[in-house]
Chains A and B, each alone.
Chain A
Amino acid sequence: MYVVGITACPTGIAHTYMAQESLEKELAKRGYEYKVETQGSIGVENELEQEEVDRADMIILCVSIQIENQERFDDKKVFYGDVDECISHPDRVVDKALEFYGLK
């Protein structure tokens, strides 16, 4: 299972990175392969390449603002999660995503 994700919050200094950390931990715990991009106020970090997006089994976007380079996900099935829930209950976010993709 390969999962890519993006986290982004309005201020882009704290929640974005807390969500990334918590999502990565959850994905690691489940033994998935993953890459999580952040779009904080410093800009895009740990950027997802198109080929990574293409080969992902799940795309989890926990964003409360419009992200940059959204076109990478055109014609893709994307699960949108909540940033706050991603911080406090990453397990629920991943479960919902699995359900969304019918992988559960």
Chain B
Amino acid sequence: MNLKQELKNIQKALLTGCSYMMPLVVAGGISFAISLLGGTATDSGMVVANDFMANVKIIGQAGLFMMVPVMGAYIAYSIAGRPGLTPGFILGYIANNTVGETGVKSGFLGALVLGIIAGYFVKWMKGWKVPTYIKSVMPILIIPLLSTFLIGVVYIYVLALPLGALLNFLVGFLGDLNGTNQILFAVVLGAICEIDMGGPLTKTVTMFTIALISEGIYAPNGMYRVCVGIPPMAIWLSSVVFRNKWTDVDRTAAKSAGIMGVFGLTEGAIPFAIADLKHVLPANILGCIVGSVIACLTGVESPVPHGSFITLPMVTNKIWFCVAIVVGTVVAAVVMGLTKKPVEQIKAKNE
């Protein structure tokens, strides 16, 4: 077995799981956030305003709960194809509930590991040489039953404890981050999320912050969501302020990038970054780090898996959320404007 190839397969599986999970997080996260509107903050968390909001909360929580089994299922699906779905769903559901005498829950981390195990197990089962009369019952009886049962038992008796402990450690670690550690974390988060502007690395961070939402930790997502709109908005701002650094075509296109930024679509920055990677990317990374750190220091939290101004109604610390985005954007725009070469100079060089 080629290890590098398998690692690539696993990465593809994680991205597939994340891909199918994303709409659930949106539906669940936004419903959940809406249910808290007008509620009162108490020591034991937010109390919803009325019965209707309590029902909206049920919808939201269902979405946020289901995202975990769905992620597990599609991780297994990516590795094993369709037969991977059944064990993936069931085992992901188990991971997101407390099991065993000690009542451990391993959440997204457990679902992720179980999804991978289920995927490879089913893939292996698919390769079994069986008599023809058994072959027809393999996909509807033997594979779903055996894979779910065996891995389920092994999980509950063996894997649940260490995985649960690992999850608790991770959740505790991020929950208790403070001072320098917290700032360092914000810097790394801000930097990573713009290095490939919405590419695989960004999506890995997305998955991480979304997974933490399902554990009730909203701060990393808050920092991250401040960042997503910064690059395209910074490009627009820079094209307005530093007119001589951008061509006419650039400046027209930058307007739509700016709008994409407001709606939290980092992708708007890609064409500009590709055209002038050396100057646009470092500026944007810097802007995102600034935004992320401000959000981190002021305790901006977001329970929704989308970012920039359009999510303003759903975030905490609304003013600082805006300040973080604006300051990050300005920093990125100014750095870009100062470092980019004037258009005439580039033209002259090309001629």
Provide the residues of chain B in CB contact with A41, threshold 8 Å.
Answer: 19, 22-23
CB nearest to A70 among chain B residues:
B81
Query: In the assembled complex, which residues on chain B have CB atoms less than 8 Å from the CB atom of A15?
Result: 198-199, 267
Secondary structure class of chain B's binding surface, majority of residues? helix
**Residue picked from A18, A64, A65, most chain B C-beta under 10 Å:** A65
Q: What is the minimal beta-carbon distance from B179 to any residue of chain A, in angstroms?
A: 34
Q: Does A57 contact B (CB under 8 A)?
A: no
Asked if B196 and A65 make an inter-chain contact with CB atoms under 8 angstroms apart, the answer reads: no
User: Which residues 1-20 of A have a CB within 8 angstroms of B?
Assistant: 10-15, 18
Chain A contact surface mostly: loop
Number of A-B contacts (CB under 8 A): 48
Count residues on chain A whose CB falls below 8 Å from chain B CBs. 16
B18 contacts across to A, CB distance below 8 A: 10
Give the CA-CA distance A13 to B228 in the complex, in Å: 15
Knowing that A10-B16, A13-B265, A65-B16 touch, tell me 20 more A-B residue pairs with CB under 8 angstroms.
A10-B15, A10-B203, A11-B19, A12-B19, A14-B265, A14-B267, A15-B267, A18-B267, A64-B15, A65-B19, A65-B78, A66-B12, A66-B13, A66-B16, A66-B74, A66-B77, A66-B78, A83-B199, A84-B200, A88-B274
**Which of A's residues lie within 8 Å of B, judged by CB?**
10-15, 18, 41, 64-66, 70, 83-84, 87-88
Residues in chain B within 8 A of chain A (CB atoms): 12-13, 15-16, 18-19, 22-23, 74, 77-79, 81, 196, 198-200, 203, 265, 267, 270, 274
